[in-house]
Amino acid sequence: MQITTYINDLLYRYECVIIPGFGALLTQYHSARIDGDTHILFPPSKTLSFNRQLQTNDGLLANYIASVEKCSYESALQKLRAYTKKLSIQLTEGITVSLSNIGDFYLNEENSIQFTPSSLQNFNTTSFGLSSVEIHKVSRLKETHQQQEKLPIPLNPVRRLKYGYLKHTAIALIAVSLVSLGGMKMYEDEVQKYNFVEKQKAVTAVENQIQQATFSLENPLPTLNLTFKKQVGKYHIIAGAFRIATNADKKIKELANIGFSPILIGVNKYGLHQVAYSSYEDRLEAIKNLREIQKSQNSDAWLLVKELEK
């Protein structure tokens, strides 16, 4: 079934893929882990589960089919209905339905759908090309240190110097040190005097510049009023698509008058101007509001997943 391939494609990108009238496939991230019994390291993965309660069409799968097969949205919905009908018939006949790389569906004794996910597919794109690895115990070698033989240190005999020679040498060194200290002291005094004079010059120059600088606040600059357009999400509840742009504008005004925050999505590949009730960052919030709109406003409303150009 070609639709099974489309579902596989979407599971790599989204955490929830709804099959209208059948249920939803959900992915959940799991970090890398080590099996303590088998000593096997498993890469990060996404586990797959099935929720029978989520059956309302959110437009994700139908729009993807329409874009890939280059057909209309209604035609994509018809293909989905035929797909889910075939699945339901096979299950009621007691057949276990296997979807490639997804898992097996079957009915239990209470006639409720059960799902066993496939262990062959990892929908985590960051783990592409990674497989499980068996970990082997590493034997560490103990380092051995050989004690080196200590060699005796030869002592060079020091020739005794005569006391008179040492005395004269010490006096000469003291005299040289006193002369050097006196010269160094004079040099340091001159440096301090120079630094003090230069510091005073710098302070005076700065004070003159401060006194010369004047600031006039009599004619302040006009206040800037900046308007930032709030960033919209990529989940849009579509109210309608119009061939004529003026009709799309009328729809936007109509929705604004009844309390919505409508937005013009733009022209699709069929040349229709799409108008949305509102846009959302969170997918679950968008689905919740879509259901409310379908019940109270427009049963034909659907969810478009599209990043808008900023």
Query: Is there a domain that residue 227 lies in?
Result: no
Domain boundary among 102, 134, 166: 134
Query: How confident is the prediction for the chain on average, in pLDDT?
Result: 75
Domain boundary among 114, 134, 154: 134
Backbone angles phi, psi at 111, to 5 degrees: 60, 30
Q: Which of 56-65, 115-124, 241-250 has the lowest mean pLDDT?
A: 115-124
Query: Is there a domain that residue 269 lies in?
Result: yes
Domain boundary among 134, 159, 191: 134
Give the global pTM.
0.44
Model confidence band, residue 31 (pLDDT cutoffs 50, 70, 90): low
Query: Is there a domain that residue 247 lies in?
Result: yes
148-177 pLDDT, tens per residue? 555 566 555 545 544 555 555 666 566 555
Q: State what percent of residues in the chain have pLDDT above 70.
A: 58
Query: Is there a domain that residue 281 lies in?
Result: yes
Which residues neighbour 77 within 8 Å (Cβ) at sequence distance 6 or greater? 20, 57, 62
Domain that holds residue 16: 2-134
Query: Is there a domain that residue 60 lies in?
Result: yes
Distances (CA, A) of 276 to 60, 70, 237, 264: 15, 22, 5, 6
Question: Number of C-alpha atoms within 13 angstroms, CB side, residue 215?
Answer: 5
Q: Which of 176-185, 228-237, 285-294 has the lowest mean pLDDT?
A: 176-185
Query: Is there a domain that residue 109 lies in?
Result: yes
Give the per-residue pLDDT at 41.
60
Give the per-residue pLDDT at 161.
47
184-198 pLDDT, tens per residue? 556 556 656 655 656
Query: Is there a domain that residue 63 lies in?
Result: yes
Give the per-residue pLDDT at 243.
81
71-107 pLDDT, tens per residue? 999 999 999 999 999 999 999 999 999 998 889 999 9
125 and 244 within one domain: no
Strands (E), the chain: 16-19, 23-30, 33-35, 40-42, 45-51, 97-99, 103-107, 113-117, 133-134, 235-242, 263-267, 273-280, 302-305
CATH number at residue 277: 3.30.70.1070
182-235 pLDDT, tens per residue? 555 565 566 566 556 565 665 565 555 544 444 444 444 444 343 434 446 889
Q: Which of 53-57, 81-85, 86-90, 276-280 has the lowest mean pLDDT?
A: 53-57
Query: Is there a domain that residue 83 lies in?
Result: yes
Which residues neighbour 126 within 8 Å (Cβ) at sequence distance 6 or greater? 44
Give the per-residue pLDDT at 155.
55
Number of folded domains that form the chain: 2
